[in-house]
């Protein structure tokens, strides 16, 4: 890559861990000038994005390296983007309606992503998500142009993950696979964009994304329990889940996600007192993977009538006997299969277990409305009342 000056981004927790050491040793050994930015915020905000962007603009970096989970990789994408477009306003490239959603036409610098969690798939996608603090809403930047150039996917980098962090990131993979496989087909999206440059990053399910989504689901079904709860030293399971995260990333990075992800943002954003097991943070948090998976039984029960074959196939991959199932059984069967899967993996018993009650439903629905970028990829159209029912049905799982 003929790198002259490299910008390495990470977070404070990772700054002293082996993946960062490997990267820095490699840069030093090759005599490549570099600077480290280790101030990435876990669950980044517009403010934390802007700080990283300011750092990237101060120097003239010609390669970016992101070492971390989705927060680090997403922040690095934004830093690269705005450093290469120094005159752009921050909202120019942020998704409409919060931002202006302008297409990115200029070239960015190469970005090498070194994921240290198996879950986000951010190393494969053109999406960077952040909390827009002033509106209390998750939004992001979505464009093929910000996709990393290269991902270095090493399962040994995930060995430091505590058990619940591993489990939750695995649930994110599970939902990426299930949501992208059941997303609205690419040829049913409307209206057609006037020009390919205006195509959304999330195009709906298609013959390419289907291959990845289904394959990732097979790997999750085979390795998730070994990976998450049995033996953290099981390198075959860690390797397989890390690759499944990449595979699901390629799938959902093209097809998109829908209701579980759209509804997860207010579940994470409205957290009151929930202390997540295994997370070293000083504030209440519902981890992303958990916030996504808690609604999955209700969501897939709801979407099944639109493409029952795919829901039955998913249930079968996750271990259900579908030999005598009818099309109308698809929703309840996949929902039950997911409940059993989540119970075995010791997932909290629904939204109540992370601090929500029926009174919170209107706020959760309100927080889902602005997530139209993803919720419109649901195969089934939905009203606010439908969303209320989905949150209510997710209060208890077992």
Footprint on residues 233-252 left by its own copies (CB under 8 A): 243, 247
Q: Of 60, 73, 294, whose CA–CA distance to 172 is shortest? A: 294
Q: Rounded CA gap, 111 and 98, in Å?
A: 26
Residue list 119-178, contact with its own copies (CB under 8 A): none
Cβ closest to its own copies, residue 71 vs residue 254: 254
Look at residue 122 and give its three-state secondary structure.
helix
Region near its own copies per CB under 8 A, out of 82-90, 130-138, 209-217, 350-358? 209-217
Residue whose token pair is 């270095």: 152
The binder of its own copies chosen from 82, 132, 202, 212 (CB under 8 A): 212
For its own copies, give the closer residue by CB, 215 or 339. 215
- Residue 148 to residue 66: CA distance in whole angstroms: 9
Phi, psi dihedrals of residue 192, rounded to the nearest 5° = -65, 135
Q: Which of 28, 78, 310 is nearest to 182 (CA)?
A: 310
CA distances from 68 to 20, 126, 326 (A): 9, 16, 44
Token pair of 144 as six digits: 């093929």
Query: By C-beta, is 186 or 247 nearer to its own copies?
Result: 247
**Rounded Cα distance, 231 and 364, in Å:** 36
| From candidates 54, 211, 281, 369, binder to its own copies by CB under 8 A | 211
76, 39 contact by CB (below 8 A): no
| DSSP code at position 103 | P
User: Which of these, 179, 230, 221, 216, lies nearest to 346 by C-alpha position?
Assistant: 230
CB of residue 239 to its own copies, shortest distance in Å = 9
Q: Which is nearer to its own copies, 152 or 229 (CB)?
A: 152
Structural element, H or E, at residue 345: none
Give the total of residues touching its own copies (CB under 8 A). Answer: 6
Least distance in Å: CB of 26 to its own copies? 13
Site string for its own copies, 288-327 (x = CB under 8 A): ----------------------------------------
Shortest distance (Å) from residue 241 CB to its own copies: 12
**341 lies in the site for its own copies, by CB under 8 A:** no
Residue span 168-207 as binding mask against its own copies, x where in contact by CB under 8 A, dash where not: ---------------------------------------x
Nearest to its own copies of 309, 372 (CB atom) = 309
Task: Give the gyration radius of the chain's Cα atoms.
Answer: 20
Stretch that binds its own copies, among 82-90, 211-219, 254-262, 330-338 (CB under 8 A): 211-219
Are 134 and 143 spatial neighbours (Cβ–Cβ below 8 Å)? no
Residue selected from 57, 160, 199, 215 as contacting its own copies according to rule CB under 8 A? 215
Per CB under 8 A, residues contacting its own copies are: 207, 211-212, 215, 243, 247
């Amino acid at each position: 890559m003929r790198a002259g000056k490299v910008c390495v981004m990470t977070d404070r927790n990772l700054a002293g861990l082996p993946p960062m050491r490997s990267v820095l040793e490699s840069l030093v050994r090759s005599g490549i000038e570099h600077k480290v930015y280790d101030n990435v915020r876990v669950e980044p905000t517009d403010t934390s994005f802007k700080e990283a962007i300011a750092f990237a603009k101060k120097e003239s970096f010609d390669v970016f390296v992101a070492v971390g989970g989705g927060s680090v990789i997403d922040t690095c994408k934004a830093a690269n983007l705005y450093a290469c477009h120094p005159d752009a306003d921050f909202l120019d490239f942020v998704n409409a309606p919060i931002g202006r959603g302008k297409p990115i036409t200029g070239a960015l610098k190469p970005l090498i992503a070194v994921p240290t969690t198996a879950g986000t798939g951010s190393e494969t996608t053109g999406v960077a998500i952040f909390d827009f603090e002033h509106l209390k809403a998750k939004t992001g930047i979505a464009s093929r142009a910000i996709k990393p150039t290269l991902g270095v996917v090493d399962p040994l980098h995930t060995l430091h993950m505590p058990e619940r962090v591993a489990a939750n990131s695995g649930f994110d993979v599970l939902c990426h696979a299930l949501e992208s496989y059941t997303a609205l087909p690419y040829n049913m999206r409307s209206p057609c964009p006037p020009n390919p440059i205006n195509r959304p990053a999330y195009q709906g399910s298609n013959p390419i994304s289907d291959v990845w989504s289904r394959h990732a689901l097979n790997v999750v079904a085979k390795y998730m329990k070994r990976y998450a709860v049995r033996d953290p030293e099981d390198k075959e399971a860690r390797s397989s889940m890390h690759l499944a995260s990449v595979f699901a990333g390629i799938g959902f990075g093209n097809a998109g996600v829908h209701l579980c992800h759209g509804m997860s943002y207010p579940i994470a954003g409205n957290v009151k007192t929930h202390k997540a097991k295994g997370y070293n943070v000083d504030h209440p948090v519902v981890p992303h993977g958990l916030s996504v998976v808690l609604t999955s039984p209700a969501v897939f029960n709801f979407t099944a009538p639109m493409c029952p074959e795919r829901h039955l196939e998913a249930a079968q991959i996750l271990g259900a006997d579908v030999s005598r199932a009818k099309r109308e059984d698809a929703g309840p069967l996949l929902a039950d299969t997911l409940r059993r899967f989540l119970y075995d993996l010791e997932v909290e018993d629904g939204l109540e277990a992370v601090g929500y009650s029926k009174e919170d439903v209107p706020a959760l629905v309100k927080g889902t409305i602005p997530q139209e970028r993803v919720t419109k990829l649901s195969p089934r159209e939905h009203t606010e009342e439908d969303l209320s029912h989905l949150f209510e049905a997710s209060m208890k799982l077992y």
